[in-house]
Amino acid sequence: MRRRPGGPFGAGRARVGALALALGLAVAAAGSARAGYWLSAELAGPASARSAAVASMSPGTGPSIDAPPPLLGHFVGHVDDLAAALAFVGRWAFTGEPLPPPESRPLFTGPAPIPGGALADGFGVLLLSLVVDEAADDGGSRPFTWPREAPELPASWRPAAILSQSAPLFAAPAPRLPPLTESHERIARKDDLYLLGVVDRCELREGVQSCLRWAQVLAHGHGRWRGGYLPAAEVAPLEGWVRAKSGLPRALAVPAAIVGDEALVVLLARTRDYELHRATLRLPRDGDAFPAFELALEGEVAVIRQGEREAARLPLNAGLDARPR
């Protein structure tokens, strides 16, 4: 899985001799067996409830730990490899059935997975974050870093990025964007972001249906993993951009909302000067779904087609931001 340059999965492989490679793998395997990863959780709630919740979260693997090193939050356990650490994150980050994938067109207004829902329902505690630290050979800990080789992530975790420098993370989707004071966390553009699925929330405004699409995400920064929801228009999957042969310009169209008979689709464009521009397109909705469309680039122009019909043709430049649609 490719990440943007400088991300955890972008490092190249050094050319080494067969003997050096064999020795390196042997040392890495031995170190991994001894070291592994510490798991902890930031929880809020009564002390007795937090203790019971932590006991339920134990992975049940690794050696018995009488005195773990100082960790952020409550010590949960130890695992031997990154796959087990990521499984721990996937197990506790959300509770609920998986949502439709990001490319899904039909509106989905069913239940949304709840961040830390199993801990809230079972113990009455609030999950603030799941924490993964690297274990040192001497029994201590060190900050989490991604390995040079890309780990195998769950298929539903799609690498993404927020469009602003930071964004508020919400615990649940809503028909309208809630006040910032209702967000439970703030994530940064430099954080790793994974898009898990999409969900829609609708309401009637003066007899007109209005729906806002949300993205279910996992955010990771400095070993802290946080789950929640962002407006879909604020999240860009790393895969799915339509690119020129040189890489720039590139464009992406994100279904964002439905208002009455119209579907609002946000066109994102990264131009040759690497500036990000956007415009909101209004396309006819397709019943209880966003419409099907195709995005193509013709030189410095983005073209949206619906079947044989050309729905929009937009030059990719700074004027995109101010152009009303």
Residue of 72, 110, 93 whose CA lies nearest to 214: 110
Cα–Cα–Cα angle for 7, 74, 78, rounded to 5 degrees: 65
Chain center to CA of 253: 18
- The single residue listed with the structure tokens 């830390």 is 116
CB of 258 closer than 8 Å to CB of 209: yes
Residue of 304, 32, 9 whose CA lies nearest to 152: 9
Q: Which pLDDT tens digit goes with each residue over 7-33?
A: 443 433 333 333 333 333 333 443 334
DSSP string covering 236-252 = EESS--EE-TTS-SEEE
Q: Which pLDDT tens digit goes with each residue over 214-251?
A: 999 999 999 999 999 999 999 999 998 999 999 999 99
Show me where the domains of the chain are located. Answer: 30-142, 158-235, 240-320
Q: Phi, psi at residue 196, to the nearest 5°?
A: -100, -35
% of the chain with per-residue pLDDT over 70: 86
Q: What is the pLDDT of residue 35?
A: 85
Residue of 186, 175, 251 whose CA lies nearest to 213: 175
Q: Which of 35-44, 242-251, 260-269, 314-323 bottoms out in mean pLDDT, i.e. has the lowest?
A: 314-323
CB of 325 closer than 8 Å to CB of 282: yes
Q: Which pLDDT tens digit goes with each residue over 122-156?
A: 999 999 999 999 999 888 999 999 999 888 899 99
- Tell me the three state secondary structure of residue 93: helix
Chain center to CA of 271: 24
Number of residues assigned to the chain: 325
- β-partners of residue 166 are 188
Chain center to CA of 46: 30
Q: Which pLDDT tens digit goes with each residue over 202-217?
A: 999 999 999 999 999 9
pTM of the model: 0.86
Q: Which amino acid is at 47?
A: A
